[in-house]
Amino acid sequence: MIETTELQNLLAIAVGASVRAGYKIMQVYNSDDFQVNLKSDRTPLTLADRLAHEEIKSTLTKTFIPLLSEEGRNIQFEERKGWDYFWVVDPLDGTKEFIKRNGEFTVNIALIYENYPVAGVVYVPVTGKLYCSLEGFRAFLVPEIQPIENYEVTFNGLAKRAQELPLPFKRDNIVVVESRSHSTPETIQYINNLAGKYPELELMPLGSSLKMCMIAEGKADIYPRLSLSSEWDTAAGQAIVEGAGFKVITYESNERLSYNKEELVNPWFIVTNGRI
């Protein structure tokens, strides 16, 4: 198993990669040419996705840890099943929100060990918010790191600016996070059932892994994902949620969401802080 000091170094490397990828994303975001194409599953792919992927890949391959990325998804299970540590990356999570220019997109990097996340980074290029988690050190938020082309940082440098999650919010209402672009009839029914139990319930529609980060930050209580998603959509967010002391569990069996499955598709799941 990788020693703690090396895990800290790997987290810092991932943070640097995410911020530099954020810089590449924002260069496209502020331009007039997103170069939008459709992938085989009919979801959009932009120039920003590709540039962010190349930035992160060029950095993480230097760690000699295998990389599984949305933009390099076609690695056969026969090769993957022997991995103990590996990176899971979504270079631009929330491409639909990116195209809408609503700012609700993230860079996601997670380190998986024996099928579960042990470190995670979720970076929000538009706001500069950085969510991080490292097993044994909980989860934390660095409020503002602006996208910089040559950004690098140490673990100690991050720690000096970090705020531990969840933040000390005081609220009595129940907040449910819902997907802005991936709602389903099952999700709507689930939320309606909650509304029947909690009349004060409020909805918070969001894109990307920001939904999971809102649970970790303490701004929301539950996020039901009763539709398909992929491992790169959730790995980093799960690291943040679990680092904050909360849970990501499968809808059917209440088991911890796991990774490196033969099919890289997640079952339905619930993210919860346990209030409801």
Q: What letter would DSSP give residue 250?
A: E
pLDDT at 43 over 70: no
Q: What is the pLDDT of residue 46?
A: 82
* Rounded Cα distance, 119 and 145, in Å: 19
Instruction: Please say if the pLDDT value at position 37 is more than 80.
Output: no
**Most distant CA pair in the chain: distance in Å?**
52
- Confidence at residue 40, expressed as pLDDT on a 0 to 100 scale: 54
Residue 260: closest CA among 56, 83, 90? 83
Per-residue pLDDT tens over the stretch 105-126: 999 999 999 999 999 999 999 9
Same domain, 106 and 148: yes
User: Does 169 map to a domain?
Assistant: no
What sign does the dihedral 233-68-249-236 (CA atoms) show?
negative
Same-domain pairing of 136 and 245: no
Residues 118 and 83 grouped into a single domain: yes
Note down the domain range covering 217: 175-272
Q: Identify the band that residue 182 occupies on the pLDDT scale cut at 50, 70 and 90.
A: confident
Determine the pLDDT at residue 35: 77
120 and 9, same domain (yes or no): yes
Domain boundary among 122, 140, 164: 164
Query: Using alpha carbons only, how large is the chain's radius of gyration in Å?
Result: 18
pLDDT on residue 3: 94
Six-digit token string for 167: 């933040």
pLDDT of 1: 82
Judge contact between 52 and 24, C-beta under 8 A: yes
Number of domains in the chain: 2
Cβ distance 207 to 97 under 8 Å? yes
The answer to whether residues 26 and 64 belong to one domain is: yes
Are 106 and 219 in the same domain?
no
Please, which pLDDT band fits residue 274 given cuts at 50, 70 and 90?
very high
